[in-house]
């Protein structure tokens, strides 16, 4: 490839995916100065992220769901920021996997199915305890302001299905969403996120995650294709109780005629959530402030067991292995890929954990949950502390624990989104691009791009369309780049705006690149409905500065 007016520098952006890249990034980027091989540099970029929210829909979760939905904009703002521009999918399921005390008809166990329907279409889900608890206004009507037309899910493709159809998740990929024009993901989540309060009170968030991710790999499921092969995976649990992911072979632990060793009181007519705590956690130290409370596998008689099939609650190893295998598969394509896990649960607002029996000071809570509150909200709403969910979260993303008792989840959602941000690295050009037109405010970088598509060969990639003043044109439908012609499927942008010389955000180079001293950042954009080709590699060459020490003094 030849470049006008100076030394050619080659930037290789490659992606090797099972069925398509899905973003302008998510690619190993190799920067090399020809012909010296020792000048090769490599970084890994990943802009695709699949996010699964597992939301507690039991009777105590009305205010918490309202809080999550109302503050969700903070999460989206991070994902859509200029230096992130994530290509994201958001799936939602509940903690309801059913129980003999939660018969079908009294609840609607999702068992990992993704839920994507407006809360206004299921207001009955927001009424609990024979109408004594009604949060339909608090957790839905006061938050969701969109009608059915504004929430109609648009047909999309996946890596595994070339037939467009509505999918049970929200997505924004290459600036295009699967919701109607004019509807933001934030506003849509305010309607889709609240799950109601009539779900089973024996919450199984870990099993719900397990089933949701298993379904996403099953071609017979509606959620098939939710997980992209090379995308980051983030799992966010939102619950105010302990995990009760029980092995249904041992459902007798909930039955009055079964072994009641885990019951708060064997004389009770029905079990409380204390069964979940007692069946999966042991504490040591002074009960008024335990030294620690840790997960333990117990058999039906309450004795510790090393046989997973004898454990009444599924061992944590079941869930760690599942995410570990998914992470390993992703790392086979991209060595930097990983799984992110977060919990909004019974954690103190400062992130600390409290484990204590409350006994006579709050006998009802002790009886119902087997332990005292891990935190208490401003209206007195209390949450059980996590033990199994704490250890599971720490297995993948240490200390990514946030308080469900907080008055505002903005901080928690920003922190979780920042974990995703930290794994998304822009495609900075690690050589100093030459300004070929000093008379303009922006650096006028001259670059050429080719893409090698396996099975099809090499094609030239045109530059995305610029407007009359030289800024990148904006597609009004997506807010993203414009293909130079209707026949083009992909175009590139060489972003160079550091100080806001242009009013166009599409020109802005990511702060990450600026901090490294780079003056050019590459973006690939695909036309609506076009999936990036599997295994494609893209090579970009730019004219470089003859005086890099002057033009890019901070570039290392």
pLDDT digits (tens, 9 = 90+) for 499-523: 777 888 888 898 888 888 999 888 8
- Predicted TM-score (pTM) of the model is 0.82
Question: Which residues in the chain come in under a pLDDT of 50?
Answer: 1-44
The number of beta carbons lying within 10 Å of the beta carbon of residue 439 is 6
Q: Which range of residues forms the domain containing residue 499?
A: 8-46+426-551
All residues at 6 or more sequence positions from 368 whose CB lies less than 8 Å from its CB, including other chains: 264, 272, 273, 274
pLDDT, position 534: 58
29 and 152 part of one domain: no
Q: Would you say residue 1 lies in a domain?
A: no
Tokens 């046989």 label which residue?
Answer: 307
Which DSSP letter does residue 389 get? H
430 and 412 part of one domain: no
406 and 431 part of one domain: no
- C-alpha distances (whole Å) from 448 to each of 468, 471, 523, 545 are 21, 18, 13, 16
Q: Can you read off the two tokens belonging to residue 159?
A: 């890596």
Quote the strand ranges of 298-406, DSSP E: 339-345, 375-376, 382-383, 401-403
60 and 12 part of one domain: no
160 and 263 part of one domain: yes
Q: Mark which of 358, 390, 421 sits at the end of a domain.
A: 421
Q: Mark which of 391, 421, 451 sits at the end of a domain.
A: 421
Number of domains observed in the structure of the chain = 2
| CATH number reported for the structural domain that contains residue 185 in this entry | 3.40.50.410
| CB-CB contact of 341 with 417 (8 Å) | no
| CB-CB contact of 1 with 541 (8 Å) | yes
Report the alpha-carbon angle 21-49-493, nearest 5: 55
All residues at 6 or more sequence positions from 223 whose CB lies less than 8 Å from its CB, including other chains: 91, 113, 114, 167, 168, 169, 212, 215, 216
Q: Would you say residue 2 lies in a domain?
A: no
pLDDT, position 331: 86
Instruction: Report pLDDT digits (tens) over 50-107.
Output: 999 999 999 889 999 999 999 998 899 988 887 788 889 999 999 999 898 887 777 7
pLDDT, position 401: 96
Q: Mark which of 421, 456, 479 sits at the end of a domain.
A: 421
96 and 33 part of one domain: no
273 and 391 part of one domain: yes
479 and 402 part of one domain: no
pLDDT, position 201: 92
385 and 477 part of one domain: no
Q: Would you say residue 334 lies in a domain?
A: yes
CA distance 268 to 160: 51
């Amino acid at each position: 490839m030849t470049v006008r007016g100076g030394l050619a520098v080659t930037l290789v952006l490659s992606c090797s995916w099972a069925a398509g890249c899905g973003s302008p990034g998510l690619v190993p980027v190799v920067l090399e100065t020809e012909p010296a091989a020792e000048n090769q540099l490599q970084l890994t970029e990943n802009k695709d992220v699949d996010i699964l929210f597992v939301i507690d829909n039991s009777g105590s979760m009305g205010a918490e769901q309202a809080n999550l939905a109302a503050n969700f904009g903070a999460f989206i703002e991070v994902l859509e920021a200029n230096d992130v521009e994530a290509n994201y999918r958001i799936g939602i399921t509940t903690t309801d996997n059913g129980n003999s005390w939660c018969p079908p008809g009294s609840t609607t166990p999702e068992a990992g199915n993704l839920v994507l329907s407006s809360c206004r279409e299921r207001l009955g889900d927001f009424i609990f305890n024979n109408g004594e608890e009604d949060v339909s206004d608090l957790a839905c009507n006061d938050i969701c302001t969109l009608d059915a037309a504004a929430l109609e899910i648009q047909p999309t493709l996946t890596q595994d299905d070339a037939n467009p159809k509505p999918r049970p998740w929200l997505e924004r990929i290459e600036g295009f969403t699967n919701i109607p024009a004019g509807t933001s993901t934030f506003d849509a989540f305010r309607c889709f996120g609240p799950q109601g309060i009539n779900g089973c009170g024996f919450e199984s968030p870990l099993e719900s995650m397990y089933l949701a991710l298993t379904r996403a790999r099953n071609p017979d499921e509606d959620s098939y294709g939710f997980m992209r092969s090379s995308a980051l995976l983030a799992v966010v649990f939102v619950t105010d109780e302990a995990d009760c992911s029980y092995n249904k072979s041992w459902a007798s632990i909930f039955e009055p005629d079964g072994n009641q060793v885990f019951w708060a009181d064997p004389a009770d007519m029905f079990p409380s959530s204390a069964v979940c705590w007692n069946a999966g956690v042991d504490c040591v130290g002074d009960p008024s402030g335990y030294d620690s409370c840790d997960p333990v596998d117990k058999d039906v008689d309450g004795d510790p067991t090393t046989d997973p099939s004898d454990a009444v609650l599924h061992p944590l190893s079941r869930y760690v292995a599942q995410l570990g295998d998914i992470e390993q598969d992703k790392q086979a394509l991209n060595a930097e890929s990983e799984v992110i896990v977060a919990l909004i649960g019974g954690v103190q607002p400062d992130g600390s954990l409290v484990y204590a029996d409350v006994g006579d000071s709050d006998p009802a809570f002790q009886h119902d949950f087997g332990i005292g509150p891990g935190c208490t909200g401003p209206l007195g709403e209390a949450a059980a502390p996590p033990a199994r969910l704490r250890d599971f979260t720490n297995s993948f993303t240490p200390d990514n624990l946030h308080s469900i008792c907080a008055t505002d989840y903005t901080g928690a959602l920003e922190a979780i989104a920042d974990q995703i941000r930290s794994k998304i690295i822009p495609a900075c050009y690690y050589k100093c691009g030459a300004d070929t037109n000093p008379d303009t405010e922006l650096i006028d970088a001259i670059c050429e791009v080719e893409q090698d598509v396996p099975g099809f060969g090499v094609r030239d990639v045109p530059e995305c369309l610029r407007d009359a003043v030289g800024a990148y044109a904006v597609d009004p439908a997506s807010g993203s780049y414009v293909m130079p012609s209707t026949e083009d499927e992909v175009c590139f942008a060489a972003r160079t705006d550091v100080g806001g010389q242009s009013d166009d955000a599409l020109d802005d180079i990511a702060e990450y690149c600026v901090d490294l001293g780079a003056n050019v950042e590459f973006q690939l954009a695909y036309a609506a409905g076009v999936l990036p080709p599997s295994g494609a590699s893209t090579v970009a060459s730019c004219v470089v500065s003859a005086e890099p020490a002057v033009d890019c003094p901070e570039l290392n």
